[in-house]
Each structure stands twice: as structure tokens, then as C-alpha cells.
Amino acid sequence: MMILSRLLGCQEQLGFLHQSKEELTDSHPVVCNRNILVELEEGVGVAVMKMKSPPVNSLSLDFLTEFSISLEKLENDRGCRGVILTSAVPKIFSAGLDIKEMCGKSAEHYAEFWRAVQEMWLKLYKSNMVTIAAINGNCPAGGCLMAVSCDYRIMAENPKYSIGLNETQLGIVAPFWFKDTIANTIGHRATERSLQLGLLYSASDALKIGIVDELVPEEKVLNAAAATMSQWLAIPDYARQISKSMMRKPTLDRLLTHRESDIQNFVSFVTKDSIQKSLQTYMESLKQRKG
């Protein structure tokens, strides 16, 4: 009952989670944090992590910390073998890193923020669980990083949604481990073009280039993710996990080896006047586009 009332509390607060009371039983333990709703279907061993930080699920320090803690809890839960990552905010998967965390703050804050970004990626990319991104909205930059860090991506076939690493369009540079993660997904040449031009791909182009694995009608994204999850979970965990680690370890080790210098690079890059100016101009352009 406690679980039910906590989730209903969140529903009232958000007003856009479309679950009925009947669906919410104690066999689906729910943890309703500030930014992420985690629902674990125990019999099946699959958790759904729903990002719910309106307006755009931007990855703030607070969000990233909660994400890493939630994922670690699931990782340590022997009853959980798979995670579906999706959004409870209509039309948005995630707008990527919270630009406000990179503007007008101290060097100490930037270092803490960047360590949290690294931690989120390390935990997601090396997860032993099967991870599936159910991309039900726009997915630029850090949102795209999260999605390509999963094992499989299903995107809503909505021509209004896009996905990609658009950092250069903001006048900033995706760090080497963003680059490695996308290159591991779409290959070197496509990554080179994609990063230099800061390309955001429509859902259909994303499928063509391989950033996503499958497109489905919007209302079927979660069901399709659940169906794919059961295929992946049919493989013995141990064999699948070793295969995943074999593919991903060199990329993970590269950041682990250079973690501190990567933080220093970020801090010295983001504290440059020219970069601060670019980020502020970009934030203003987002606001103007609205008006």
C-alpha cells in the first residue's frame, strides 16, 4: 500500500504518468525519487527507470547523482537482470547535460559535476544488466550518450524527434569517451561526420545510420522494449555479461585511466571566457526560440 500511495503521490505531482491503479500492485515495487521513477517487476527481473524531471530531463548534478545511485541499487539486486530506460516527460527523452551546471559556477563545481557525468556513464556502460533505451522523445547530446550506452535502442517513429551528439553546434566538444561510445555504435566515418557537424538525426535517419536499432509507433515503445528484453534475457547471464565486457572494457578502461585528467580538461575548457559566452548565447537562443 505504501508503494501505491507513493507512486500516486508522484502521479498527482506530475499529472502525466498513465498507469491505472490496477496496474500498480506490490509485485511491482516502485521507488519514486525526485528525478527518476524506478519500477521493478520482481517476477520478471526487469526494472523500468522513468526519467521525470520536467521540463526536459536535463542532466543536473542532482539528477546524475540520483541516476547513479538508482542504477547501482538495481545492479546489486540479484532479482534484477534488465533495465529499460525511458522518460515520463512527454516528447523528451533527455535534453542532455544541464547547461546551467556549466555556466557561471566555480571550478570546484565544474569538477564535481563532471565527475558525476563520468560516473553515470561508467555505471551505465559497464552494467552487467541488459540495458534497453526506450526513446520516446528528443534525445540530443548527453541524452544520446545515455541511449548509446545501453545495449539496444528503440525509438518512437515520430518525425519531430531527433537524436545525436550536437555539441559542436553549442561551440563545445564532445570528450573522447562520448566519441568512443558513439564510434562503437555507428563506426568511425559516421562518427567523424556526426561529431564535426554536430548532427541531430531524425528517427528514420537514426535507424539508417544505426544510432538506434528499431523504430516503432510511439505508443508501442515500452512494449517493444519489454519484448526485446525477454529475448536478451533468454541468453545465459554469465555468457552474455562476459561478451559485453569483452566488447566494452577497452573503452571503459580508457576513461578509468584518464579520469582525473579528463576532469581537469573539462574544467579548463569550460572556464574559458569564449566557452562561457557560447553556452550563454546558446541558452538565450533556446529561450528566444520559445518566444
Q: Does the footprint of ligand LEDWP2DD cover residue 166 (CB under 6 A)? A: yes
Q: Does the footprint of ligand LEDWP2DD cover residue 89 (CB under 6 A)? A: no
Q: Which residue from 138, 181, 185, 191 is in contact with ligand LEDWP2DD, where contact means CB under 6 A? A: 138
Could you count the other beta carbons within 10 Å of the beta carbon of residue 122? 17
Cβ-proximal residues to 149 (8 Å cutoff; 6+ apart), any chain: 121, 124, 125, 131, 181
Cβ-count burial of 40 within 10 angstroms (0-12 exposed, 13-18 middle, 19+ buried)? buried
Q: Hunting for cell 525511458 — which residue is that?
A: 86
Q: Which residues are catalytic?
A: 97, 142, 166-167
CA 275 to chain centre: 24
Q: Hunting for cell 557537424 — which residue is that?
A: 197
Q: Does the footprint of ligand LEDWP2DD cover residue 288 (CB under 6 A)? A: no
In this complex, which beta carbon is closest to ligand LEDWP2DD, that of residue 98 or of residue 151?
A: 98
Q: Hunting for cell 553515470 — which residue is that?
A: 120
Q: Does the footprint of ligand LEDWP2DD cover residue 181 (CB under 6 A)? A: no
AA identity, residue 103: C
* Residues 103/66, Cβ–Cβ less than 8 Å: no
Q: Which residue from 11, 35, 58, 70 is in contact with ligand LEDWP2DD, where contact means CB under 6 A? A: 58
CA contacts within 13 A on the Cβ side of 233? 20
Q: Which residue from 51, 56, 134, 148 is in contact with ligand LEDWP2DD, where contact means CB under 6 A? A: 56
Q: Which residue from 7, 74, 95, 116 is in contact with ligand LEDWP2DD, where contact means CB under 6 A? A: 95
In this complex, which beta carbon is closest to ligand LEDWP2DD, that of residue 152 or of residue 178?
A: 178
Strands 130-135 and 82-87: parallel
Stretch that binds ligand LEDWP2DD, among 35-43, 92-100, 121-129, 208-216 (CB under 6 A): 92-100
Q: Does the footprint of ligand LEDWP2DD cover residue 164 (CB under 6 A)? A: no
Residue 69 grid cell: 545511485
Q: Which residues bind ligand LEDWP2DD (CB under 6 A)?
A: 55-56, 58, 91-92, 95-100, 138, 140-142, 166-167, 170, 172-175, 265-266, 269-270, 283, 286-287, 290
